[in-house]
Amino acid sequence: FATDGPNWLYCSKNESSLCGSGRFLGKEPFLSNTPVCDWAGITCEDHNYMSIMLDYNGLRGEIPADELVGLCIASLSLRGNPGTSLNFGNSELGFLLIESLELLDLSENELTGQLDFPLLSSGQGAIYLSNNRLNGTLPSGCCSRMTVLDLSHNLLSGTIPAVFGFEQDFTFIDGQFQQQLQPSDTLTEIHLAHNFLTGIVPDTLGELQNLEILKLEGNRLIGSIPDEICDLTFEYGGDLEYLWADCAGADAEVSCECCSKCFYTFEDSPSPAPVDSQSSSMLPTIGLEGF
C-alpha cells in the first residue's frame, strides 16, 4: 500500500487488523472483496458521491492526487496521520480534485514546506491544514470560494494581505476588460492563530460579510482591530461570534474593543492564556488501490 496499509491501526486488509466496531461499526476492511461503499472509512451518498474519513489510523505515505480525480469524492479527511500527504504532481488534475471537494482535512500530519497557493486558490469547500509545519506567507487573492480555512498552528510569516479572501473578477467596461477584486461571500471561518504573522490586521477583512469565526491570537500582530471588523460582530448585528486576538493586558500589542476573547502572550509559551472580554474574570486556561 502507498500508505503503509498493513500497519494501519484499524481495518486494513491485514486479517489481524481490528475492524467492525467503534467508528467503523458494521464496516469491512479496506480493499476487501466487498463493495467499496462497505469499506471502513468510506461513506457513499446515493452511490454518486463518497466521503473518505481515515483520521488517526496510522496511515503514512504519499497519495497521488491524480488517482483520486474522477472518483466523485466529496470529503477527504486524513487528519492525525503523521507523514501522510497528497501529491499534486499533475497540477491540472490536482486543481480538479480540490475544486470538487467539500472538505479536505490534512491537519496534524507533520506537513512541511511552502504553503500551496494553487491549492488555496482552487478550494471551494472547507480546508483544514492546522497543526503542521507549513511555512511561507499568506497569498493575496486566495480562498474566496472557500467556506472554512484553517491554517492555525503552523510556521507562516509575513503580513495578512489586504485582499486576503478576495477574488479577481474581470468586468467588460467601455470596450475593455477591467480587473476588479470582490470579497468572498462564502468564507465563514478563518483560523490563523499561532503562527508568526506580523503587521496590522487589514480593515478589508471587514468586507467578508459572512464571517462567523476569525481567530488571530498567538501571532506578532500590532495595532487595533479595525472598526470594519467590529461591525461584523454580534454586538453590531453581524454573524461574527468568535473574534480572538492578543489583546489582553496593558501591554497588549493589539487593541480590541469588540473581541469575544483576548489573550495574554508570553514569549516562552506556545499557548497564550485567554481572557473572556465579556467577563472581568481571568480564564485559565485515493485511485483507491493507491492506499
pLDDT tens, 146-184? 999 999 999 999 999 999 998 876 565 677 766 678 899
Q: Is the pLDDT of residue 88 over 80?
A: no
Return the pLDDT at 170: 58
Q: What is the pLDDT of residue 109?
A: 94
What is the distance in angstroms between the CA of the first residue and the CA of the last residue of the chain? 5
CA distance 141 to 6: 42
pTM for the full predicted model: 0.86
What pLDDT does 89 receive? 64
pLDDT higher for 118 or 144? 144
What burial letters (b/e) apply to 76-104, b meaning 16+ CB within 10 Å?
bbbbbbeebbbebeeeebbbbbbebbebb
What Cα–Cα distance (Å) separates residue 218 from each residue in 37, 62, 193, 232? Answer: 42, 31, 5, 22
Amino acid residing at 274: P
Read off the pLDDT band of 289 (50, 70, 90).
very low
State pLDDT tens for residues 215-242. Answer: 999 999 999 999 999 999 988 889 999 9
Backbone angles phi, psi at 24, to 5 degrees: -105, 30
Closest by alpha carbon to 213, among 152, 266, 140? Answer: 152
* C-alpha atoms less than 13 angstroms from C-alpha of 103 in its C-beta half-sphere: 12
Average pLDDT, the chain: 83
Which amino acid, one-letter code, is at 115? Answer: L
Instruction: Give mean pLDDT, residues 108-130.
Output: 85
